[in-house]
Amino acid sequence: MTTLFISDLHLDAERPAITELFGAFMHREGRQAEAVYVLGDLFEAWVGDDDPSETGAYVADRIREVVDLGVPVYFIRGNRDFLVGDTFARRAGMRILPDPAVVTLYGRPTLLMHGDLLCTDDVAYQQFRTQTRDPAWQRQFLGQPLAARLAFAAQARAASQARQQGMIQSDRAQFESVTDVTPATVEATLRRFGVDTLIHGHTHRPAVHDLDVDGRACRRIVLGDWYEQGSVLRVDANDRVLESLPFTP
């Protein structure tokens, strides 16, 4: 059997074709898998489990259908959906993992992350991440009316897009460097956990990177996003295959 890894779907009501692709993927492949791992940014934004969005309900139902067939679904929070909580997890039947998390895949310890913790050159983002992961900040934010939280999320997305466009126009090479992982941080993370395989998303740069860490042959597998297509990593006892999933908008 095969274990499936996906990330960075960024599902929302404005891109129904990708949401439908996710549903078809879970129906066609998810129910046949040994397990499904979603490594963050399942949603474009998530402002609390009390959000009654149709997209959230659809996604929960598609995951629950797979779980009810006996296929476990695991989730690591991303930078867009770090407020996914226990209520939504119970509704979907999925299990939330810490970031980072070490799992055993066919006898091999493997490190799973969303990936944003590896982008340490982006100092402004890391400061924002630290602030928004603080339990006190989250309690204060979730205590606001839903409309206010939705407005904050929209404003934060617009500010992020404006910042990225400004960086691209100013120095595209620096933008590419800052928004990608920091190599030294990757090596330090693999060294810290003592594993030779790391799987993550976040950077939207799907690839398989072979590394040498203190004389150990290591591998970093980066999942792709679901903006123009789908992306899935299929892992079994013998192979790891990273593929795109085409869709018709």
Residue 226 burial (10 A CB sphere; 0-12, 13-18, 19+)? buried
pLDDT at 84: 98
Cβ-Cβ contacts under 8 Å for 29 (sequence gap 6 or more): 4, 232
- Report the C-alpha gap between 54 and 39 in whole angstroms: 22
Please, what are the domains in the chain? 3-245 (3.60.21.10)
pLDDT at 46: 97
pLDDT at 209: 97
- For 240, other C-beta atoms within 10 Å of its C-beta total 18
pLDDT at 200: 98
- Report the C-alpha gap between 128 and 122 in whole angstroms: 10
Weakly modelled stretches of the chain, pLDDT under 70: 171, 173-175, 248-249
pLDDT at 247: 72
pTM above 0.75, yes or no: yes
Cβ-Cβ contacts under 8 Å for 14 (sequence gap 6 or more): 44
